[in-house]
A and B are shown apart, each in its own frame.
Chain A
Amino acid sequence: MLLPSVQRGLRIGAIAFAILTYLVLVGLPLRLGDLALPILAGAMALFFWLALRGGKSKQDVFNRQPALLFTAGLSGGLTAGLLIAALLAVFVNLTSSGVRLQPIFDKMTPPNLAALYGVAPGAIVGGELSPLAWLQQALLLTVASGVGAALVLVERWARGRPTPRISALRWIPLLLPIALFLFVLWLGMPGVTFGGNNRGTIRLLAAMVTIGAGILALRAAHPGRERQLLSLLYLAGVAYLPFTLDQFQNSVLGIVFIFVMMGLGLNIVVGFAGLLDLGYVAFFAIGAYMYAFLSAPFSSPWLSAQLQSLGIPANAPLLSFWMALPITMLAGWIGGVLLGIPVLRLRGDYLAIVTLGFGEIIRLFMLNLAELTNGPRGLLNIAPPYLFGYNLGNPRDIFILGLIGSAVIAFSAYRLDNSRLGRAWIAMREDQDVAQATGVNLVRTKLLAFAIGALFAALAGQLYAARQTNIFPENFSLFVSIDALSLVIVGGMGSIPGVVLGALALKGLPEVLRGVDEYRIVTFAALLVTMMIVRPEGIIPSTRRRRELHEEAEPVVGEDVPSVLERLAPELKSDNPDGGKK
C-alpha cells in the first residue's frame, strides 16, 4: 500500500512542478514581489489539497489512512520542490554566468528570479546566493504540500459531522444582495479609503456581484409574495445603481449590459432554437453601422456625396437616436432573414462555419467598402442619444439605456419563450424532424429565430455606436461573436437570467482583473475552461415553466415507478377492488 501511495505522490508532484514552472515562466513572481514565495507555496498547498481529495474509489482505500495520505503528500511535495528548486538553480547559474535567457524566455529576468528568493536582483546577477537558499525553496514547497494533505483530513473530518440544518440559512442568499448593495453605497462615500487606489475596482466588483447575487436571490425566494417583494426591491436597487457609481464603473456596466442585450438575442438563436451561430457579430455590426450612417452621414464619403447631390446638408445627423431605432431594427430583421434563407438546410457545425463566414464577410465588407464605411478609419462623430435636449451620451445614462434595453429584451424573450413560437423553437432544437411532423413550419420558425435574434443584436449595436461615437470594423471581429456565445453558454443555454450572469462574468470580470493587465486573458481563459469542467450546464441552467400548480417536488423517477398504464390496467378489468388508487 505504501508504494502506490508514493507513486501517486510522484505523479501529483510532477504536475505540481509543471504548474509551478508555468507560473515562474510567465513571470508571476516578479509581479508578486516579496510575496512571491509564500503565494507559490499557498498555490502548492491548494493544489495538493484538490489533487488528493478527489481520488477514484480504488484509491480511496489508502486515501482514508492519514499516514498514506501524508506519504503521498510529502513524496509529491519533495518531487515538486526539488525539481523547481533545481530548475531555478539552473536559471540563476545561467544568469549569473552572463547568459541572457530573455531571448528565449521573455520573463526570465534577474528581478523575477530574485523575487523567488526575496533578495535583490544584484545578488542573482552576481551569483551571490548560497546553496542553502535553493534548498530553502524546496523545503518550503514540501511543507506546503504537507499542509495540503492535512487539509484533506480536516475537510473529511468536517464532512463527517452532521451539518446543522437551520432554516435561517435560507436568509443568507436572500439578504446577501442587500448587504452587498449597502457595501457598494458605503464604498462610494467620499471619506472611505478602503482598498486605496483599487477602491473603484473593488466597488465595481461589488456592484457586479450585487446584480448577480440579486438574480440568485430571486431564484432562492419562495414563489409568490416573497419573490414579488424581492423583485421590487431588486428592480429599485438596480435602477438606483447607476446614480451611485462613478463613470468608470458605469462605463464597464454599460458595456456589460450592451452585451446582455446581445446575449439575450443570441440566446434566442442558440439557446431556444438550437441554431449554432458563430457570426452573430454581423447583426451587431449592422445595427451599429446603420445608426452610424443615419447619425453621421458626413463620415461616409459616398453617403455625403449622395446627400449633397440631393441638396440635403450632410453635416448633421439625418435622424435622431430615437427616430433611427425602427430603421436599425428593420435592418437587423432583414439581415437575419437574409442570413437565414441560405442556411435553412444546414445543420450543426455546418451552420456554425457558415454563420462564422457570414460574420467575417460583413466585417470584411465594412473594412473594404471604404467609400461607404470609410474603411479601417471608421465612422466618426456619431451622435449620442438626446432626450428633450439632454445628452444621454455619458457612461451613466448609457448604462441606464442598457438596463432599459436589457429589461425590454429580457421581457420580450421571456414572453416569447412561453409562447407558441417559443415552444416551436424548443421543439425544433430537440428534434427538428418530429417538430415538423408535429406541425411546426420549420422555415418560418427558423427565420423568425434568426430575425428576432438579429433585431435584438442590432439594437445592442445601435446603443454601442451611440456609446462609442466612433466605430471601426475592428470593433466587430470574430471575438465579439465568441464573447457573446461564451456568455450565453457560461450563463446557461436558454436561460434568460443566465445571460446577465454570463455577461457579468465574461465582460465585467476582465475589467476587474485590469490590475493584472497582461495576465488577464490567460486568467480569463483558465477560468472559462475550469467553469466548463466544473459546471457545464452554465451558472443558471434553464428550467421549464410549471403549468400545473399542485406539485411541490417532482416524483422520484426510477425503474420501479409504475406507469399510469400499469396502474390503470386493473381498473379497466373492473374486477380488482384495489384499482384506481392514486
Chain B
Amino acid sequence: MRNARFLLLFAALIALLTACVAPAPAGAPAAPAAQPAPAEAQPQPTGGQVVIAPGQTIRIGGSFALTGPIPDPGKDIRQAAEIAIDDLNAAGGVEGFLFELVAEDGACSGDQGTVVGNKFAADPTIVAVTGGTCSGETFGLKPILQRARIPFVSPSATNPAITDPECDVCNRVALSDALQGEVDADFVYNQLGLRKVAVMHDNSDYGKGLAEIFQNAFIRLGGEVTNFEGVQVGDTDFRAVLAKIGANQPELIFFGGYSTEAALIAQQMKETAGLENAKFMSDDGAYTQQYLQAAGAAAEGTYMSFVAGDAQADKLAEFTEKYVAKFGVEPSQLGPFHGQSYDSVILIGEAIKRVAKVDDNGNLVIDREELIKAIRATKGLQGITGTLTCNEIGECGAGGVQIFIVENGQFKQIAGFGM
C-alpha cells in the first residue's frame, strides 16, 4: 500500500518533469509577455515592436546599485540618468512622447540583476535599459535582455567580458578596464619615470581587474612590482598592509578601487615607514570630491586617472548646475560615473528618436530590432564625456583617459591619452 503511494509520487514527479520538457505552446495565453524561447536551440528570436499610445510615456528601465556595497555611485548614476531624462523631455521628447525612467535596485549583485532583468523583460513597455552599475549585476541582466531583445547601455560596468561579439544588445559607455590600466602603467613608467611600484586593490571585480591590468602592463614595460596586495571594500585600517608594502620601499602605490578606501590609503601611507615619500595613484573609481575631502592634506600630489576623454567642459558645467538644482548635491560628491550615466541615457534617447515612428492611430511605434541596430550605429554623438561612437561589439565610450594630479585640493589635468 505504501509502496504504491511511493510509486504514485514518483510518477507524479516524472509527470511534472515531462510537463516542463514539453515546449510551451506558442504565446501561452495567460502570460502577458511571450515566454523567452530557448537561446541556442532555436534561431535568434525577434523582439517585435513596442507600441506606445498617446499620453503614455517611453519607458526606459534603469538598473542601479541603490543598496549593497557601493550605494554612493549607484545613487549618483540614477540621479544623472534622471537629469538626462529631463533634458530629453525638455527637448520635446520624441514626436511629443515623453521619456520616463523606471528605476530598479540592482543592488550591485548578480541575483538582483537577474530579477531586475526579468522584471524589465516581463514588462512589454520597457524599450531599453540603462545599467547596470556593477559588472556582476550587468552579467545578471545580460542573458535575459539578450533573449528579450531589449538593448542596454551600461554606464559603469567595466569588466571586459560584458561586451562580446555574440551579444548584440550589450553596450556600454564606460571603458573596459583594459585601456585605463595600460595608460596608467605607461604614465607611471614613462612620464613619472618610476620603476618600482606596489599594486593594491579592493578585491572587487572592478578594482582587482584594473590592478591586474596595471600590473601586467607595468611589468611588460620593464618595471618592478614589489607587492600585489588586496584589501576589502569597507576596511578602514590599512596600516598593516601598508607597513608590509613599505618594507620594500616602492616609489609609488597604485590602487584599484573606490574613493573611500583610496583616501584612507593615501592618508595612512604618510604614517608608514618606507612610504613617506612614495607617490600614490588611483583610478576613476576614486576620482571624486569625496576622495579629496576624505584624504584631506594627504591628497596633495596624488594622481588619479579618469576615463573621460575630451570632456566637454561647458556641457559638464550645465549638467552639474541642473544636478545641484534638482538634488541639492554636487554629483562628484557621490561618485565618478554621472557623466557616463547621463550619456548612456542620451545615447538611448537619440537612438529611439531615429527609429520611432508614429502610426495612423497616433501611436508611437518602436521596432526592437531596429533600435538594437540604431544604438550600435551611434556615431559622433556629443555627450558630456566626449564624442560617443559605438564599435561593432558595443563599446561606445568616448575613448580617452585623463590623468589628474591633486593640487591645492583640486584635480588638475596633467596628461591625456587616446583622445
Direct A–B contact present (CB less than 8 angstroms): yes
User: Which residues 137-178 of B have a CB within 8 angstroms of A?
Assistant: 139-140, 143-144, 147, 159, 161
Partner of B30, one of A188, A400, A471: A188
A335 in the interface (beta carbon within 8 A): no
How far is A378 from B121 in the complex, measured between Cα atoms in Å?
24
7 pairs of residues in contact across A and B, judged by CB atoms under 8 Å: A200-B119, A252-B118, A392-B20, A467-B114, A470-B110, A474-B69, A520-B105
**Across the two chains, which residue of chain A brings its CB closest to B123?**
A200
Shortest CB-to-CB span from A325 to chain B, Å, is 14
A93 in the interface (beta carbon within 8 A): no
User: Which residues 364-410 of B have a CB within 8 angstroms of A?
Assistant: none
In the complex, the answer to whether A394 meets B31 with C-beta atoms within 8 Å is no
How far is A511 from B117 in the complex, measured between Cα atoms in Å?
13
In the complex, the answer to whether A472 meets B110 with C-beta atoms within 8 Å is yes
**Across the two chains, which residue of chain A brings its CB closest to B33?**
A246
Closest 8 CB pairs of A and B: A391-B38, A248-B122, A251-B118, A470-B139, A246-B122, A248-B119, A188-B30, A376-B205
How far is A387 from B371 in the complex, measured between Cα atoms in Å?
34
In the complex, the answer to whether B104 meets A514 with C-beta atoms within 8 Å is yes
Question: Apart from A376-B203, A404-B17, A518-B66, what are 17 other A-B pairs with CB-CB below 8 Å?
Answer: A102-B328, A109-B327, A246-B31, A248-B123, A252-B115, A255-B111, A370-B208, A377-B135, A377-B209, A378-B110, A388-B21, A393-B143, A396-B35, A403-B16, A472-B205, A475-B109, A514-B119
User: Could you mark each residue 232-272 of chain A with 1 if its beta carbon is under 8 Å from any beta carbon of chain B, else 0?
Assistant: 00010001001111111111100100000000000000000
Partner of B136, one of A190, A370, A393, A474: A474
B24 in the interface (beta carbon within 8 A): yes
**Across the two chains, which residue of chain B brings its CB closest to A184?**
B30
A215 in the interface (beta carbon within 8 A): no
The residue among A109, A189, A378 with the most chain B CB atoms within 10 A of its own CB is A378
A100 in the interface (beta carbon within 8 A): yes
A390 in the interface (beta carbon within 8 A): yes
B207 partner residues in chain A, CB cutoff 8 A:
376
How far is A402 from B208 in the complex, measured between Cα atoms in Å?
34
Given contacts A375-B208, A404-B13, contact A474 B109 (CB under 8 A): yes
Q: In the complex, how many residues of chain B place their beta carbon closer than 8 angstroms to a beta carbon of chain A?
A: 57
In the complex, the answer to whether A249 meets B38 with C-beta atoms within 8 Å is no
In the complex, the answer to whether B21 meets A408 with C-beta atoms within 8 Å is no
Footprint of B on A, CB under 8 Å?
Answer: 100, 102, 109, 185, 188-190, 200, 235, 239, 242-252, 255, 367-368, 370, 375-378, 380, 387-397, 400-401, 403-404, 407-408, 411, 464, 467-472, 474-475, 511, 514, 517-518, 520-521
B147 partner residues in chain A, CB cutoff 8 A:
394
In the complex, the answer to whether A100 meets B328 with C-beta atoms within 8 Å is yes
How far is A524 from B283 in the complex, measured between Cα atoms in Å?
36
User: Could you mark each residue 29-50 of chain B with 1 if its beta carbon is under 8 Å from any beta carbon of chain A, else 0?
Assistant: 0111101101111000000000
Shortest CB-to-CB span from B228 to chain A, Å, is 11
Shortest CB-to-CB span from A522 to chain B, Å, is 10
How far is A250 from B35 in the complex, measured between Cα atoms in Å?
11
A400 partner residues in chain B, CB cutoff 8 A:
16, 19-20
A407 partner residues in chain B, CB cutoff 8 A:
13
How far is A387 from B326 in the complex, measured between Cα atoms in Å?
53
How far is A378 from B105 in the complex, measured between Cα atoms in Å?
21
In the complex, the answer to whether B208 meets A239 with C-beta atoms within 8 Å is no
How far is A275 from B23 in the complex, measured between Cα atoms in Å?
44
In the complex, the answer to whether A376 meets B204 with C-beta atoms within 8 Å is yes
In the complex, the answer to whether A188 meets B32 with C-beta atoms within 8 Å is yes
How far is A545 from B161 in the complex, measured between Cα atoms in Å?
54
How far is A387 from B108 in the complex, measured between Cα atoms in Å?
32
Given contacts A109-B328, A247-B122, contact A517 B203 (CB under 8 A): no
The residue among B17, B104, B122, B327 with the most chain A CB atoms within 10 A of its own CB is B122
B301 in the interface (beta carbon within 8 A): no
How far is A245 from B108 in the complex, measured between Cα atoms in Å?
26
In the complex, the answer to whether A517 meets B20 with C-beta atoms within 8 Å is no
Given contacts A185-B30, A380-B139, A394-B36, contact A249 B114 (CB under 8 A): no
Given contacts A246-B32, A377-B208, A470-B110, contact A395 B39 (CB under 8 A): no
**Across the two chains, which residue of chain A brings its CB closest to B113?**
A468
Shortest CB-to-CB span from A238 to chain B, Å, is 10
In the complex, the answer to whether A390 meets B23 with C-beta atoms within 8 Å is yes
A239 partner residues in chain B, CB cutoff 8 A:
16, 19
How far is A389 from B109 in the complex, measured between Cα atoms in Å?
30
Footprint of A on B, CB under 8 Å?
Answer: 9, 12-13, 16-17, 19-21, 23-24, 28, 30-33, 35-36, 38-41, 66-67, 69, 103-105, 108-111, 114-115, 118-119, 121-123, 135-136, 139-140, 143-144, 147, 159, 161, 203-205, 207-209, 230, 327-329
B114 partner residues in chain A, CB cutoff 8 A:
251, 255, 467-468
B40 partner residues in chain A, CB cutoff 8 A:
391
How far is A407 from B31 in the complex, measured between Cα atoms in Å?
25
A393 partner residues in chain B, CB cutoff 8 A:
38-39, 143
In the complex, the answer to whether B121 meets A247 with C-beta atoms within 8 Å is yes
Partner of A235, one of B12, B135, B136, B205: B12
How far is A247 from B105 in the complex, measured between Cα atoms in Å?
18
In the complex, the answer to whether B161 meets A517 with C-beta atoms within 8 Å is no
How far is A463 from B49 in the complex, measured between Cα atoms in Å?
33
**Across the two chains, which residue of chain B brings its CB closest to A394?**
B36
How far is A139 from B313 in the complex, measured between Cα atoms in Å?
51
A109 partner residues in chain B, CB cutoff 8 A:
327-328
Partner of A389, one of B41, B119, B143, B205: B41
Shortest CB-to-CB span from B411 to chain A, Å, is 21
Shortest CB-to-CB span from A343 to chain B, Å, is 25
A470 partner residues in chain B, CB cutoff 8 A:
110, 136, 139-140
Shortest CB-to-CB span from A384 to chain B, Å, is 8
The residue among A189, A391, A407, A408 with the most chain B CB atoms within 10 A of its own CB is A391
Shortest CB-to-CB span from B208 to chain A, Å, is 5
**Across the two chains, which residue of chain B brings its CB closest to A403?**
B16
In the complex, the answer to whether B104 meets A475 with C-beta atoms within 8 Å is no
A376 partner residues in chain B, CB cutoff 8 A:
203-205, 207-209
In the complex, the answer to whether B32 meets A190 with C-beta atoms within 8 Å is yes
In the complex, the answer to whether B35 meets A247 with C-beta atoms within 8 Å is yes
How far is A388 from B30 in the complex, measured between Cα atoms in Å?
26
A517 partner residues in chain B, CB cutoff 8 A:
66-67, 103-105
The residue among B33, B110, B327 with the most chain A CB atoms within 10 A of its own CB is B110
How far is A247 from B144 in the complex, measured between Cα atoms in Å?
10
Shortest CB-to-CB span from B72 to chain A, Å, is 11
How far is A248 from B125 in the complex, measured between Cα atoms in Å?
14
Given contacts A102-B328, A391-B41, contact A248 B118 (CB under 8 A): yes
Partner of B159, one of A245, A377, A392, A468: A377
Partner of B203, one of A245, A367, A387, A471: A367
A408 partner residues in chain B, CB cutoff 8 A:
13
B13 partner residues in chain A, CB cutoff 8 A:
404, 407-408
In the complex, the answer to whether B31 meets A245 with C-beta atoms within 8 Å is yes
In the complex, the answer to whether A394 meets B35 with C-beta atoms within 8 Å is yes
In the complex, the answer to whether B109 meets A391 with C-beta atoms within 8 Å is no
B109 partner residues in chain A, CB cutoff 8 A:
474-475
**Across the two chains, which residue of chain B brings its CB closest to A521?**
B67
In the complex, the answer to whether B139 meets A244 with C-beta atoms within 8 Å is no
B143 partner residues in chain A, CB cutoff 8 A:
393, 469
B32 partner residues in chain A, CB cutoff 8 A:
188, 190, 200, 246
How far is A475 from B31 in the complex, measured between Cα atoms in Å?
30
**Across the two chains, which residue of chain B brings its CB closest to A375?**
B208
The residue among A245, A411, A474 with the most chain B CB atoms within 10 A of its own CB is A474
Shortest CB-to-CB span from A555 to chain B, Å, is 31
How far is A438 from B136 in the complex, measured between Cα atoms in Å?
51
In the complex, the answer to whether A378 meets B16 with C-beta atoms within 8 Å is no
How far is A395 from B143 in the complex, measured between Cα atoms in Å?
12
Shortest CB-to-CB span from A315 to chain B, Å, is 14
The residue among A252, A377, A387 with the most chain B CB atoms within 10 A of its own CB is A377
Shortest CB-to-CB span from B169 to chain A, Å, is 16
How far is A467 from B204 in the complex, measured between Cα atoms in Å?
22
